[in-house]
Amino acid sequence: MLRGLLAFALIASTGLAAQDRFIPRDNSASQTGTSVIRGRIVSAANGEPLRKARVSLSSRADPVFTDNEGRFAFTNLPAGRYTLSVRKAGYAATTFGAIRASSPPISIEVAAGATVGGIEVRVPKGAAISGRITDQFGDPVELAIVSAMRIVPSGGRTTTVPQATNLTDDLGEYRLGGLPAGSYLVSAAMPNLRNGMIMNGLRNGMIMNGVAMMASDIQPSAPTYYPGVPGLSQAQSLNVHAGDEAPSIDFAVSPVTLAKVSLAIVDANGKPTDAVATFSMVGSSLNGPRSGPVHTPAAVAALEPGEWVVQARGDRGGAGTARFFVGTDDAVVTVTLGPGGSIAGSIVVEGAPLPPGTLLQVDAVPLDLSMTAGFSRTNRDGTFEILGLLGARDLQVRGAPAGWPLKAIMFESRNLIDTPIDFKDGQDLTGVQLVLTSRVATLKGTALDVAKVPVKNFSVLLFPEDSGAPGHSASRTRAVRPNQTGEFVAEALLPGAYLVIAVTDIDEARWPMADYVAALRAGATRVTLGEGETKTIALQIGGAP
């Protein structure tokens, strides 16, 4: 059972925030150049070359395919930093340097006119999940839409990533292949075909199991999750390893009669008022908000069983929220709008000015991931205002270019950068200053094993020496990967004293949680960085907790 395992993730505002820290910047400035990247694609199982593997390079529109020896080459590249990924039928999609599917890659850096060779990617066999979908009478369901969603940890939370989708054949059988190792949820939905199947002249359609049809002609019903349960909270996960075949994942789907929830939005005087409302499932990470937005004062939503939260924002201001349980019976939920909270202030730039044309956005990101953001407006002069806020929020600035981190969030002479603001009705903060700075430092280096031999595949974790210092998690905690030569660069660091450690692997479910960071402190190296300073360091590989 997954109740309590999955944490709802608002994809639009948070996504996989912890993993984003690993993504290397692509510095290529043009589409053509004089550089070359060469390498070889082989099977992770036996080292045999993989022919006709599809190799893609970030910022390059056209992939290349390997020859009979598994070799590939990208030519006429501009100087820059790239990520390289591989796909081949029967194998799991793989990115160069990634330890597992959810891990960050290693970047490939190439100078103008240079050739980078020796890139080898070992591609694991793909796993597969297969089975049979039947209806409530035991008869096969043809053209049921079956999906596998990989469970991905991220910074102490869990989300799901759609990995594979297929349709059942005339026997109700399905197969979802090419899966990377991991844990999965499997769902199936019975389709409603509107206009029959269209065999020719497809636009925006798809071909699955040899049958072509318009996407608009397949309207799935509410999903049923393995082992045949109607709600995500009751779903059972499946663990697969590289090359595994997980057969006989059979379960029955039936037309799910979703409970109808009638929503009424009223103002403080109990009178119906216009608002926009969004329903989200509590404890669910499947596809973000599950219903909405809907416009009220009165609306009806069909919701699957489970605990839900509805958030409403009035057209003329105000905010309200309510939690409720959905079973099999219809229900009525009333949300009363209060004034909500608000925050207003300005963005201040310290040091060099931002590049021309930079557009910034201030967001109040909810700590409760089943909540949504408030009404946010950031003006070109750097002033901002966010209305309709309820619950604990972190302030973040989107759109700042690399090299301008958020240094401080100042309010009444206090730095709130690591202090969530818990908004209640009528709580209005004004004069808040968000300070971006270009007065930053850089840390470079390499890693050695216990025999003092350089290693190339590792991660560097960096965090403040003083765990109570402002900016501990928001601005100074960092995880970086090296390039293909084993050199790492941590850029745009705020000045201060840091602890740095190189590890062979990271527990993505716990990084950068406080207990995980605390366990690393004893084996870390102290580094002090000043404004504009660049330091180089050689780290010895340590163990991750």
Comparing CA positions, the residue from 412, 370, 273 lying closest to residue 7 is 370
Q: Give the C-alpha separation, 228 to 349, whole Å.
A: 55
pLDDT at 208: 37
Per DSSP, the three-state class of 279 is strand
Q: Which residue has the higher pLDDT, 511 or 492?
A: 492
pLDDT at 41: 98
Q: How confident is the model at residue 373 (pLDDT cuts 50, 70, 90)?
A: low
Lowest mean pLDDT among 327-336, 347-356, 454-463, 486-495: 327-336
Per-residue model confidence as pLDDT tens digits over 181-239: 999 999 998 876 544 443 333 333 333 333 333 334 444 467 899 999 887 778 899 99
Per-residue model confidence as pLDDT tens digits over 340-369: 899 999 999 999 999 999 999 999 988 776
30 pLDDT higher than 60? no
Q: Which residue has the higher pLDDT, 514 or 171?
A: 171
pLDDT at 65: 97
Q: Which residue has the higher pLDDT, 427 or 281?
A: 427
Q: How confident is the model at residue 545 (pLDDT cuts 50, 70, 90)?
A: low
Comparing CA positions, the residue from 282, 225, 280 lying closest to residue 256 is 225
456 pLDDT higher than 90? yes
Q: Give the C-alpha separation, 267 to 337, whole Å.
A: 5
Lowest mean pLDDT among 116-130, 164-178, 437-451, 462-476: 462-476
Residue 132, strand partner residues? 173
Per-range mean pLDDT, top range of 5-14, 245-254, 514-523 = 245-254
506 pLDDT higher than 50? yes
From residue 96, alpha-carbon distances to 35, 86, 483, 516 in Å are: 19, 8, 10, 26
pLDDT at 169: 96
* pLDDT, mean over the chain: 83
Per-residue model confidence as pLDDT tens digits over 383-401: 999 988 888 898 999 999 9
292 pLDDT higher than 70? no
The strand ranges marked E within 29-83 are 35-43, 54-57, 64-65, 71-77, 80-82
469 pLDDT higher than 60? no
Chain centroid, CA 216 distance in Å: 28
* Angle, CA of 223, 225 and 227, to the nearest 5°: 145
Strands 224-225 and 275-281: unpaired
Q: SS3 sequence, 442-509? A: EEEEEEECCCCCEECCCEEEEEECCCCCCCCCCCCCEEECCECCCCEEEEEECCEEEEEEEECCCCCC
288 pLDDT higher than 70? no
304 pLDDT higher than 80? no
pLDDT at 166: 96
Per-residue model confidence as pLDDT tens digits over 68-78: 999 999 999 99
pTM attached to this predicted model: 0.77
Q: Give the C-alpha separation, 178 to 169, whole Å.
A: 19
DSSP 8-state symbol, 385: E
Strands 496-503 and 534-542: parallel
Share of the chain above pLDDT 90, in %: 54
| Amino acid, single-letter form, for residue 448 | L
pLDDT at 106: 95
Per DSSP, the three-state class of 30 is coil
pLDDT at 193: 52
